[in-house]
Amino acid sequence: MELIVCIKRVPQTAEAEVKIDDSGKDIVKDRLTFDMNEADSYALEEAILLKEKFGGAITAVSLGTAEAEDTLRIALAKGADNAIRIKAEEFGELDGYKTAMIIKEAIKDLKFDAIFTGCMATDDSYYQVGPVLAETLGVPHATLVSKIELTDKKVHVNRELEGGLIEHLEMSLPAVFAVQTGINEPRYASLIAIRRAAAKEIKVLGKDDIASEPKLNSTLEELFVPPVGKRAEFLTGTADEVSARTAEIIKEKGLI
């Protein structure tokens, strides 16, 4: 199987103190750590599991600056065979649509049975790359994928819906899967694989390698912290008092 995985290097903001920079359109990143986008690491693992079962090769693709090559090397160490970085620095402002269109241009000549993306990126949360890739490549797609089972040329896919529902789809390949977190358990990279990955070549593509520069579908106007709401209640008192009151609230709201 020929598999492609889209990977993004993102700042880790889930537990961080995030500040907006002077431009008002980005965050201050100098006190943040960077890692592979969480959902992408599950997408990569899903591709590796399929490769282990059915053979083939994985190409990891990232639209990012030079540092994204570190993230691609992690993908190579975990099980990707090839890696491509598209120079984000040559494309100016990006939205979900433009990102997907640039990736599409970069991979359109590659043979593939399946493309995996994370269902969302934690930095801009557009949820668009998977669906836009699929539509413009003319293949089916599934988002929020929580299970993939392959038999012959048919794929059985579970999608995680709101309200605890699971939707079961039958699809055919080639297809795009936008993978939900928790679908598998992403692996560590072994030291020997890390050494091998360090020696592998990462193909770098720029603006000149893309037939035409895709346009933005939206432009970022402003990034801001929403005003603090008045719904929060701070409990005071001893640990016993606070925990008793917490238990009462949980009961009152019918949460248990």
Partner 1 sequence: MANKKNIVAEINPEIREALVEMGAVDAYKCYQCGKCASVCPWFQVGTYEFLVFRFPLETVLGLIASSEDKEELAKEVDKIYRCVGCEACVDQCPLGVKIPDILRSARRILVDFGSYPETLKSVVQKIRNVGNPLGEPRETRGDWAKELNVETYSADKELLYFPCCIPSYDDRISRVAKATSLILKHGGVSFGILGTRESCCGEAIRRAGAETVFNETAKANIQAFTEVGVKQILVSSPHCYVTFSKEYPELGGSFEPLHTTQYFWQLIENGKIRPNKSYEKKVVYHDPCTLGRQSGVYEEPRNILKSIPGLELLEVDDFSRNLSLCCGAGSGALWIDWPKGERMADIRIKQLVDTGAEVIAVACPYCLQMFEETVKAMNIDITVMDVCEILHESLSG
Classify burial at 103, counting beta carbons within 10 Å of its beta carbon; exposed 0-12, middle 13-18, buried 19 or more: buried
User: At which residue do the structure tokens 């970069």 appear?
Assistant: 106
Residue 95 CA to its chain's centroid (Å): 14
d(CA 104, CA 120): 17
Site string for partner 1, 28-57 (x = CB under 8 A): ---xxx-xx---------------------
User: At which residue do the structure tokens 């949360």 appear?
Assistant: 125
188 binds partner 1 (CB under 8 A): yes
Residue span binding partner 1 (CB under 8 A) among the ranges 84-92, 103-111, 189-197, 213-221: 189-197
User: In this complex, which beta carbon is closest to partner 1, that of residue 41 or of residue 59?
Assistant: 41
Site string for partner 1, 72-111 (x = CB under 8 A): -xx--x----------------------------------
DSSP 208: G
d(CA 89, CA 76): 22
Peptide bond before 214: cis, by omega within 30 degrees of 0? no
User: In this complex, which beta carbon is closest to partner 1, that of residue 38 or of residue 95?
Assistant: 38
d(CA 41, CA 37): 7
User: In this complex, which beta carbon is closest to partner 1, that of residue 29 or of residue 147?
Assistant: 29
Residue 26 CB, nearest approach to partner 1 (Å): 17
Site string for partner 1, 206-225 (x = CB under 8 A): --------------------
Residue 76 CB, nearest approach to partner 1 (Å): 10
d(CA 169, CA 159): 8
One residue of 20, 57, 139, 189 binding partner 1 per CB under 8 A:
189
d(CA 42, CA 247): 35
Site string for partner 1, 6-25 (x = CB under 8 A): ------x--xxx--------
Kindly calculate the radius of gyration of the chain based on its CA atoms and give it in whole angstroms: 21
Residue 33 CB, nearest approach to partner 1 (Å): 5
Contact 80, 49 (CB under 8 A): no
Residues forming contacts to partner 1 in the complex (CB under 8 A) are 12, 15-17, 31-33, 35-36, 73-74, 77, 187-195, 197
